[in-house]
Structure 1
Amino acid sequence: METMIMLMNNSLPKNWVISCVGDIYKILESGSRPSGGVKAFSKGIPSIGAEHINNRGGFNFTHIRYVPDEFASTVRKGKIELEDILIVKDGATTGRVSFVNENFPYPSAILNEHVFKLKVNTEIINQKLLFYYLYSQEGQKMILSSFHGAAQGGINQQFIKSVFIPHPVSEKDQIALLTRIEALLYQLAEARRLHEKIVADTNRLMDAVLAEIYPTNEEQLPEGWRLLPLSEICTINPTRPRNLANSDEALTSFVPMAAVDDREGRITDLQARPFGEVKRGYTYFEENDVLFAKITPCMENGKAAIARGLINRFGFGSTEFHVLRSTNQILPEWIYYFIRRESFRQEAKTKFRGAVGQQRVPADFLETHLIPVPFPDNPEKSLAIQQQIITRVQTTSGEVAEAQIGNTKTGTLLSQMEQSILAQAFRGEL
């Protein structure tokens, strides 16, 4: 640490200094909760914990908890105020920081025991400028250098002695630096917003194409098409052949749920396991069968794939797959793209059965669900039309996949730019 401070000192711009947060803090405290916790309370004063501080320097109030008004009135420490810097003190997200600005939605709120609030002497350092430093990669390294413990590790109040911030001496120069940081971050936020819109539009493109291909009511059907139950064009969860035999040592294809990529809709990690390990207690399927995740949240996320490249043309996988085996008059892709539609998954979600967290799509939902089929009474013509349409869909799918890869790279660059701005700011290079 001393070597790092010396290096920082040697590269400081003119009229800059390095301050130890341990020397300039005024308040460093955490809050508390009533004995027995807060689950029993549905109203009162918001209790802010580590789960409410996100990794972007802000808040996530999706699952807010409360403490009774009477308890809050007796609390002396941990009351949230404007311009507080909040720091997660333990657990998996130790070191995350957020800043309480005028947009904080609660006029009165308190911290629980897992979060520090920090205030410093603003005659020495601007409070928000310090927040940006603590949010930066360098600031995070300094905070986490004091991390201790294993199972539920964290930081204690001594961590501030290990945090050193380089900054301009004068208040005027600090405000000027803060203004430059926020102007650049605003522009970056606008770029992020546009990027997120592009990502959303890209992700919707395939759904738009599939909605056009698969009309779901009689009025929209092209001439010669019919709506048929899935059970008429494929076997749902076909039984394993009674005469299936193999040596227990023979390698057999295996597909755990994690091996199916929910974005690409394909098996990305086809495994090979001894037949003796998988022959009982798993789902059986064959080459060209369509696998459809039936359990939440895998189903909603879009885990589905066509089983291909199987050893000896059969395999086993997670018990949380439904298997759809098409007849020789239907292409597997025709079923696969149909069940990959967002609207199909949303409808399947309404048919869930089972306890929360273990809900599943029942097989009878698949059996009775209607799918449009071109010219079902003319198999040769039907297959030709299916293939023509599938070829077009696959071309679009490839283009969407390329766009998604580009979107991912752009998102990574935008995230790196944020930290680059902060690094330059605290080197005096803005």
Structure 2
Amino acid sequence: MSWLRKPLAQVADLCLGKMLDEKKNKGDPMPYLANVNVRWGEFDLDSLREMRFEPNELDRYGLKHGDIVMCEGGEPGRCAIWKDEVPGMMIQKALHRIRPGEELDYRFLYYSFLYKGRNDGFSGLFTGSTIKHLPGQNLAKVEVRYPSRPEQERIADTLSAYDDLIENNRRRIKLLEESARLLYREWFVHLRFPGHEHVKVVDGVPVGWERKFVPDLIAINPKERIERGKEAWYVPMAALSETGMTVDRGDFERRTVHTTVKFRTNDVLLARITPCLENGKTGFVYFLDEGDIACGSTEFIVLRGTSVSPYFVYCLARTYDFREHAIKSMIGSSGRQRVQVGCFDEYWVALPPSSQLSEFDGSVAPMFKQIAVLDQQIERLGQARDLLLPHLMSGDVVSSTESLEAT
């Protein structure tokens, strides 16, 4: 059966979000999505902001289940399906809302966009020389090629099976990391460790514990060497998450010219520049083979445990007090301020006896290892989906059962 071809404006309703203007905007404060909240296939909802919307703007700028939210700038064309994750969600002007008509399955339309994005299918519609944009009049011209509605649903079901597994893994990763960080806070911040009822605290330190400064426990920017001209992974700042330890390997590069920032498995990467540190960018290096060394952004600080485990180091680096101490040390011009590495010389940690540390490590190490396994599964599932994508979008359909068994 032949597929139809129509411009997007004929098969979907398009709307650009509302301009953020605190002086002119009126109405009630409501959460909204900005460009930074939209990733390929998912939303980052941990740093939502609010702006004022009037009652007559709710339909125009509001989201419904099945709407596709697409970036107008930044990485134009990047998009995800809205599934009512947060009630009453609105959109800012940096985003397009695409609401498919009855001819289209919203999932099929999303995968059409994903296919175009993977193959630079939007690039001919961009404006701007340095910062790219996809204006509404150009988005309206995007050609949508589609089969019958039942065939769309079959294709979408096949691809969604992969994304459902990916989303399930992401939820499990989030729960595992939350558990590890909660345990750290309970034991080492709030000092509610096993048996704490019978231990006296003097000047903020339980009896039997030691007050140690960070350099006594953690090597800051440890020296590593990569052979000149040898190919190695480069990890940019964009790869780090603002909320969790996992990294986006899609942003990695293989390079033969290396930066001065080098690290290995189990190191912790901490952003040192504003606003990346304030936004939470911190990563745990679980993605390298044992013995491999990678390089990264010169705006990373590398933390490596010497007297404590890498799990302890990561959880410490995620605490509010540790980050605030680093932020207060920042110097430099507005918008380019950086942490002074020497600030950690003055930050002390209450260090428990080795038996207490071992008990903590024994509890959280399986969580960290499971996160690494789940993230590797996410990568393989994404690769398998992307291999199927061109075949399915050209009509060479593989059943969902056969596809998933092939992975």
TM-score, length of structure 2 as denominator length: 0.54
- 1:227 equivalenced with 2:209 (yes/no): yes
Which residue number in structure 2 is paired with residue 419 of structure 1?
Answer: 386
Q: 2:307 aligns with which of 326, 334, 346?
A: 334
Which residue number in structure 2 is paired with residue 138 of structure 1?
Answer: 116
The Cα of 1:60 is off from its aligned counterpart by 3.4
CA distance in 1, matches of 2:182, 2:57: 54
Which residue number in structure 1 is paired with residue 376 of structure 2?
Answer: 409
- Compared CA separation, residues 59 and 127, structure 1 to 2 (3 A): farther
CA offsets 1:361-389 (integer angstroms, 9 cap, x no match): 664441xx443457xxxxxxxxxx9xxx9
CA contact (8 A) 1:143 1:160 kept: no
CA contact (8 A) 2:79 2:110 kept: no
Gaps of 5+ in 1: 1-14, 238-252, 273-289, 305-316, 324-331, 375-384
SS of the counterpart of 1:87?
strand
CA contact (8 A) 2:31 2:50 kept: yes
CA contact (8 A) 1:18 1:166 kept: yes
Which residue number in structure 2 is paired with residue 87 of structure 1?
Answer: 70
The Cα of 1:163 is off from its aligned counterpart by 2.1
The Cα of 1:413 is off from its aligned counterpart by 0.7
The Cα of 1:128 is off from its aligned counterpart by 1.3
CA distance in 1, matches of 2:196, 2:352: 9
CA distance in 1, matches of 2:42, 2:196: 47
CA contact (8 A) 2:29 2:51 kept: yes
CA distance in 2, matches of 1:216, 1:300: 34
CA contact (8 A) 1:300 1:345 kept: no
CA offsets 1:197-254 (integer angstroms, 9 cap, x no match): 3686599789989x89x98969589xxx9433326x95999xxxxxxxxxxxxxxx79
SS of the counterpart of 2:77?
coil
- Compared CA separation, residues 216 and 335, structure 1 to 2 (3 A): farther
- Compared CA separation, residues 103 and 81, structure 1 to 2 (3 A): same
The Cα of 1:56 is off from its aligned counterpart by 1.2
Which residue number in structure 2 is paired with residue 113 of structure 1?
Answer: 93
- Compared CA separation, residues 363 and 66, structure 1 to 2 (3 A): same
- Compared CA separation, residues 234 and 87, structure 1 to 2 (3 A): closer
- Compared CA separation, residues 87 and 294, structure 1 to 2 (3 A): closer
- Compared CA separation, residues 22 and 397, structure 1 to 2 (3 A): closer
- Compared CA separation, residues 45 and 300, structure 1 to 2 (3 A): closer
CA distance in 2, matches of 1:393, 1:103: 34
CA distance in 2, matches of 1:294, 1:84: 34
Which residue number in structure 1 is paired with residue 138 of structure 2?
Answer: 158
SS of the counterpart of 1:340?
helix
CA distance in 2, matches of 1:319, 1:184: 36
1:41-190 equivalences under 5 Å are 43-44=28-29, 46-58=31-43, 60=45, 62-69=47-54, 73=56, 80=63, 83-90=66-73, 92-100=74-82, 105-106=87-88, 109=90, 111-119=91-99, 122=102, 125-138=103-116, 141=119, 142-156=121-135, 157-168=137-148, 171=149, 173-174=150-151, 177-178=152-153, 181-182=156-157, 185-186=160-161, 188-190=163-165
The Cα of 1:149 is off from its aligned counterpart by 1.9
CA distance in 2, matches of 1:318, 1:102: 36
CA offsets 1:332-391 (integer angstroms, 9 cap, x no match): 93357696262586374387373898788664441xx443457xxxxxxxxxx9xxx99x
1:291-310 equivalences under 5 Å are 296=277, 301=282
- Compared CA separation, residues 254 and 113, structure 1 to 2 (3 A): same
Which residue number in structure 2 is paired with residue 310 of structure 1?
Answer: none
TM-score, length of structure 1 as denominator length: 0.52
Cα RMSD for the two superposed structures: 5.9
- 1:346 equivalenced with 2:319 (yes/no): yes
CA distance in 1, matches of 2:85, 2:210: 53
Residue-pair matches, total: 325
Gaps of 5+ in 2: 201-206, 226-234, 247-257, 262-266, 286-297, 331-336, 400-407
CA contact (8 A) 2:11 2:104 kept: no
CA contact (8 A) 1:351 1:365 kept: no
- Compared CA separation, residues 68 and 158, structure 1 to 2 (3 A): closer
SS of the counterpart of 2:88?
coil
CA distance in 1, matches of 2:299, 2:117: 44
The Cα of 1:96 is off from its aligned counterpart by 1.9
- Compared CA separation, residues 297 and 336, structure 1 to 2 (3 A): farther
Which residue number in structure 2 is paired with residue 193 of structure 1?
Answer: 168
- Compared CA separation, residues 73 and 195, structure 1 to 2 (3 A): closer
CA contact (8 A) 1:45 1:67 kept: yes
CA distance in 2, matches of 1:86, 1:302: 27
- 1:24 equivalenced with 2:10 (yes/no): yes
CA contact (8 A) 1:24 1:120 kept: no
Q: Identity across aligned pairs (percent)?
A: 8
- Compared CA separation, residues 61 and 191, structure 1 to 2 (3 A): closer
CA contact (8 A) 2:309 2:361 kept: no
Which residue number in structure 1 is paired with residue 404 of structure 2?
Answer: none
SS of the counterpart of 2:87?
coil
- Compared CA separation, residues 321 and 87, structure 1 to 2 (3 A): closer
The Cα of 1:95 is off from its aligned counterpart by 0.4
CA contact (8 A) 1:293 1:320 kept: yes
